[in-house]
Amino acid sequence: MRRRYDVPGLAGAVAAGSSQERSSGIYAKYPSETRFLQRPDGRLAYNDVGQGPLVVMVPGLGDLRTEYRYLAPKLVTAGYRVVTLDLRGHGQSSVGWPDYTSAALGSDVVALVRHLDTRPAHLVGTSMGAAAVAWAAAEAPDLVGSLALIGPFVRDVPPASAFRAALQQLMMRVGFAGPWAPRAWGMAYASFHTRKPADFDAYRDALVANLREPGRLDAVKGMIFASKSDVEARLAEVRAPTLVVMGEADPDFADPRAEAETVARLLRGTVHMVPGAGHYPHVEVPDDVAPTLLRFLGAREGM
């Protein structure tokens, strides 16, 4: 029986499962047993909470399934079954995967939805997680009821200038070249937020600690340098209703509104801009994002 919860965040929830699955840090407060899906090249960790229409939530690269710690409880309380996934190589998913492209991540999402055997699923993805769910919607349209893409990287976004592109590449390669890499990611992660939640410092520390585990950083680097051309080429195949959520101050895009509108046009979707928010509007301003997402899902489900 999947446990339900009605708290505004994950604080105070107690994890079930083995002592190994109740690992220290953020997972110690996750409100359900950690489950695993075996794939040909490794296994994926996920949580399954609530009852009702299925919503699968996929975090961005360098983050964990607890990225949705503010948004997921609101969906469960509203009557949805919410499954949150750790990307391959991240969190409690295994390391050593041979492929970190959007297509590979998307194939994990398809496999998970098929394993859960509840369709259609509503897919939510952030950043590169948005690329994964968009690819999944193109690959298996019969499995997907809708898409919600948050700060989506679903195409190779042209840089503002050749100089800026070269500088970004240099910074990434140097930043991830030594033992300081996990800490460098923690600093970069802070810059993606314009508003930091109360638990930000502890949460970032947990991310950095996770990246210090052998093999974790390889996954992050593999995703950072992976082209999005594999998913961009398939956007025209997506038939699911799509909502694009973008922070108006998202630092990852030279013009966040223009990028959101471009993605929405390519997917025949709608845009919701979140005033003042950065790359994680669902963490920074959950009371803005959650009602918008619930209205979008409710229109699909008649709720």
pLDDT digits (tens, 9 = 90+) for 108-148: 999 999 999 988 999 999 999 999 999 999 999 999 999 99
**Quick one: pLDDT at residue 7?**
28
* Res. 171 pLDDT band, cuts 50 70 90: low
pLDDT of residue 167 exceeding 60, the answer is no
- Portion of the chain with pLDDT greater than 70, in percent: 83
pLDDT of residue 106 exceeding 50, the answer is yes
* Omega cis (within 30) before 73: no
The alpha carbon of 289 is separated from its chain's Cα centroid by a whole number of angstroms, namely 14
pLDDT of residue 11 exceeding 80, the answer is no
Report the chain's C-alpha Rg in angstroms: 18
Q: Which residues contact 295 (CB under 8 A, 6 or more apart)?
A: none
**Quick one: pLDDT at residue 14?**
26
pLDDT of residue 221 exceeding 80, the answer is yes
pLDDT of residue 47 exceeding 90, the answer is yes
Q: What is the mean pLDDT of residues 243-257?
A: 94
Q: What is the mean pLDDT of residues 252-271?
A: 96
Fold of the domain spanning 25-301:
Rossmann fold (3.40.50)
Q: CA quadruple 293, 7, 250, 85: dihedral positive or negative?
A: negative
* Res. 225 pLDDT band, cuts 50 70 90: confident
**Quick one: pLDDT at residue 157?**
83
Rounded CA separation 159/110 (Å) = 31
Q: What is the mean pLDDT of residues 221-227?
A: 90
Rounded CA separation 85/73 (Å) = 15
Average predicted confidence (pLDDT) for the chain: 86
**Quick one: pLDDT at residue 182?**
87
Q: Give the Cα-Cα-Cα angle 303, 132, 74 (nearest 5 degrees).
A: 35
* Res. 170 pLDDT band, cuts 50 70 90: low
Q: What is the mean pLDDT of residues 98-117?
A: 97
Task: Pull the structure tokens for residue 230.
Answer: 């594999």
**Quick one: pLDDT at residue 240?**
97
pLDDT of residue 161 exceeding 50, the answer is no
* Res. 32 pLDDT band, cuts 50 70 90: low
**Domains in the chain: boundaries:** 25-301
pLDDT of residue 175 exceeding 80, the answer is no
pLDDT of residue 185 exceeding 80, the answer is yes
